[in-house]
Amino acid sequence: MTDTRAHFGRLLALAWLLLPAASGPALAADEPATTEAAAPAAAPAEAKPAEAAPVSYSKKGADTCLTCHDDNPVVMAIFNTKHGQPHDARSPFGKGQLQCEACHGPGGKHTGKIKKGDTRPPMIRFGRDSAAPVAVQNGVCLACHEKSLSAEWHAGPHAANDVTCASCHDLHATKDPVLSARTQDEVCYTCHVTKRAEFLRPYAHPLKQGKVACSDCHQPHGTSAASQLVKSSVNQTCYQCHAEKRGPFLWEHAPVAEDCAICHSPHGSSNPGMLKSRGPLLCQSCHSQQGHPSFAYGPSNLPGGSGPTVSTLALGNCMNCHSQVHGSNHPSGSTLTR
Ligand code: HEC
Ligand code: HEC
Ligand code: HEC
Ligand code: HEC
Ligand code: HEC
Ligand code: HEC
Ligand code: HEC
Ligand code: HEC
Ligand code: HEC
Ligand code: HEC
């Protein structure tokens, strides 16, 4: 967690909180910097008195906040999370940290008595219906998470599309739903609506059962790989769990080595085996009828049809003979039949 970034994040937060108060001359250009100067040492007890700066950290930190907010179980649940650990010096509640205000910004006048009819000056809120700009919200988080996260975050489509950290993360929840396989998909579906339908198809990766999570295949923060995959290619991503498909094979099947998604819909499909289309058609999209039994199989080839009857069609399709469609290690398996 770099100090300069931490400063920058907090400065951004301060600057934003100062904006609504821009009526008074008190908003000298160096005001945030002055307040910030006090911030790093700001064990809450050392924060400046409220009169000295229009926006300042509260003297008693979380204790001040909780005089009003302790009736909310959601707020209190932060103490069950990694952010609420006083023994972790890096956590917002670690020694010398700013506690609630590390995220919500300096309490300032928000914590005071409010005259009837006046509105309470806001704190930084998070998530999709927050008034705080995305850069301010995410700046708060990146102030501490910059080191581990920044490179991937700025490479990804979520940052580029102004998605906030808090659109996925629920920091006051005892168990952040996006971090557990069983509940993660629901978080993603709030924006990726069509993906729910794909995983509800009859043949799909078992997400609902918690056996697979979106983040097994996708890097949610960002990466330079296509489709934000966790590995450099589709195949490398699949081999994590389907290692037997990696080979090496004596007789490779070219499209398999190239890209599993040529034949499979990685999320789900209405065809058995999560195939993009059914049996003969799938194969015939590349293989012509010439040369071999690979003439077009259609209804006319079924028993009773007008064409030559093909027993394998009645039973199944090309895979009845070419069962080793992913590749064969049999010495005479060049046509993937064994
Ligand atoms: C004197 C009581 C009081 C204190 C002290 C106080 N708050 Fe608040 N806070 C409120 C009230 C009341 C609201 C609701 C404001 C509104 O709806 O306009 C609120 C709203 C908020 C909100 C936004 C929630 C929303 O629904 O808009 C956040 C975040 C927040 N407070 C955080 C804090 C933090 C952090 C502290 C300590 C620095 C703190 N509060 C101290 C009374 C207080
Ligand atoms: C004052 C520093 C600080 C700030 C600000 C902060 N975090 Fe953290 N965060 C931490 C620390 C420390 C951990 C624990 C890291 C560990 O255990 O390795 C953590 C852990 C996490 C985790 C993992 C939780 C888990 O259960 O594994 C997530 C997710 C997270 N932070 C997201 C955020 C988001 C989103 C924000 C902004 C709203 C934010 N953090 C703001 C310091 C901070
Ligand atoms: C698209 C949803 C999404 C967004 C947006 C998002 N995260 Fe995450 N985050 C996740 C998921 C999912 C995981 C769990 C990853 C895993 O299990 O491999 C995670 C894990 C984490 C962790 C703990 C593991 C780690 O990588 O260190 C931290 C810390 C974290 N996120 C912080 C952030 C911060 C800070 C932001 C904003 C800059 C952010 N996240 C934005 C979905 C998201
Ligand atoms: C690590 C950052 C972090 C810390 C520390 C933190 N919060 Fe929050 N708080 C958030 C985020 C993010 C949200 C948005 C909802 C969520 O993600 O759970 C939130 C939501 C809230 C809300 C509801 C506001 C709304 O938008 O509806 C209140 C009130 C609140 N926090 C008060 C507090 C108080 C009081 C403390 C200290 C005891 C505190 N928070 C500590 C990040 C934090
Ligand atoms: C707040 C809305 C939001 C949430 C929540 C969200 N995303 Fe996204 N996601 C977007 C936007 C916007 C884009 C960029 C536009 C697009 O490609 O649709 C995007 C892009 C992506 C992409 C890249 C698509 C491509 O064509 O390259 C992947 C993969 C992705 N998200 C996965 C996830 C996963 C996994 C989760 C849950 C952990 C998640 N998203 C949660 C909004 C969201
Ligand atoms: C088994 C691995 C796997 C899982 C699990 C998975 N994806 Fe994907 N996803 C992929 C692959 C592979 C692609 C690229 C498809 C292609 O290249 O044709 C992709 C593409 C995408 C895209 C961009 C292209 C599109 O279809 O719109 C989005 C968005 C996306 N996934 C979101 C999600 C979300 C959200 C989840 C969880 C609900 C999820 N994925 C779970 C493998 C997976
Ligand atoms: C995190 C592990 C994981 C990853 C990564 C993964 N899968 Fe799977 N896959 C599974 C599990 C678990 C099943 C269900 C197996 C079962 O039910 O016996 C499955 C089943 C399948 C099935 C069989 C479906 C059926 O109806 O028999 C296909 C096809 C498949 N995966 C293709 C892929 C492709 C293509 C990729 C890469 C885009 C991929 N998988 C990545 C875990 C994974
Ligand atoms: C040329 C088309 C094609 C390609 C490319 C392909 N598959 Fe398949 N895959 C099939 C067919 C056809 C089936 C159904 C086999 C059956 O019904 O006997 C299947 C079945 C599967 C199954 C479930 C049954 C089994 O054999 O375990 C998994 C898992 C699977 N494929 C994974 C993959 C992976 C991983 C890749 C990429 C390395 C891949 N497939 C590439 C055509 C393909
Ligand atoms: C994306 C195009 C594509 C699809 C779809 C496809 N194949 Fe292939 N297949 C190829 C290519 C390219 C070769 C290598 C041809 C060569 O070396 O002459 C090949 C080779 C073969 C061979 C070995 C041929 C030989 O001459 O050694 C068989 C058998 C075969 N495929 C069967 C199938 C079956 C069965 C399916 C359906 C499950 C299928 N293919 C789907 C492109 C495809
Ligand atoms: C009744 C079993 C059977 C069925 C069904 C079948 N094949 Fe074959 N196929 C074979 C055999 C046996 C060979 C090897 C022929 C040879 O060595 O002369 C072969 C060879 C091939 C070859 C290599 C052709 C060549 O000229 O060397 C391809 C490609 C192929 N089949 C694709 C398909 C496709 C696509 C289907 C489905 C539309 C299919 N086959 C259905 C048995 C079958």
Axis crossing angle, helix 134-155 with helix 3-18, rounded to the nearest 10: 150
From the CA of 137, how far away is ligand 3's center (Å)? 14
Q: How confident is the model at residue 198, as a pLDDT?
A: 96
Measured CA to CA, the distance from residue 77 to residue 329 in angstroms comes to 56
Ligand 1 binding pocket mutation candidate from 65, 98, 172 (most atoms within 8 A of CB): 65
Q: Are strands 203-204 and 268-269 parallel, antiparallel or unpaired?
A: antiparallel
Is the beta carbon of 256 within 6 A of some atom in ligand 8? yes
Task: Tell me the ligand closest to 267's alpha carbon.
Answer: 6
Is the beta carbon of 82 within 6 A of some atom in ligand 2? yes
From the CA of 282, how far away is ligand 10's center (Å)? 14
Furthest CA-CA distance within the chain: 94
Sequence-distant (6+) residues with CB within 8 A of 106 are 13, 14, 17, 35, 47, 55, 56, 57, 58
Most confident of 7-16, 25-34, 124-133, 263-272: 263-272
User: Residue 314 — very low, low, confident or very high, per pLDDT cuts 50/70/90?
Assistant: very low
Pick the range with the lowest mean pLDDT from 63-77, 224-238, 241-255, 313-327. 313-327
Whose alpha carbon is nearest atom 13 of ligand 4?
Answer: 126
Measured CA to CA, the distance from residue 75 to residue 294 in angstroms comes to 66
Residue 43 has pLDDT above 70, yes or no: no
From the CA of 89, how far away is ligand 9's center (Å)? 59
Is the beta carbon of 224 within 6 A of some atom in ligand 5? no
- Span 319-328, pLDDT tens digits: 888 999 999 9
From the CA of 215, how far away is ligand 7's center (Å)? 14
DSSP annotation of 328 reads B
Q: How confident is the model at residue 182, as a pLDDT?
A: 94
Whose alpha carbon is nearest atom 10 of ligand 5?
Answer: 158
Q: How confident is the model at residue 145, as a pLDDT?
A: 94
From the CA of 104, how far away is ligand 4's center (Å)? 7
3-state secondary structure of 276: coil
CA 183 to mean position of chain CA atoms: 12
Do residues 289 and 283 make contact, with C-beta atoms less than 8 angstroms apart?
no
Q: How confident is the model at residue 185, as a pLDDT?
A: 97
Task: Tell me the ligand closest to 293's alpha carbon.
Answer: 10
DSSP strands (E only) in the chain: 203-204, 268-269
Is the beta carbon of 166 within 6 A of some atom in ligand 4? yes
Rg (CA), the chain: 29
Do residues 52 and 108 make contact, with C-beta atoms less than 8 angstroms apart?
no
Do residues 105 and 159 make contact, with C-beta atoms less than 8 angstroms apart?
no
Mean pLDDT of 197-206: 96
Give the atom of ligand 10 at the shortest distance from the alpha carbon of 296: 38
In the chain, the amino acid numbered 338 is R
Ligand 3 binding pocket mutation candidate from 169, 187, 231 (most atoms within 8 A of CB): 169
DSSP annotation of 325 reads T
Q: How confident is the model at residue 24, as a pLDDT?
A: 32
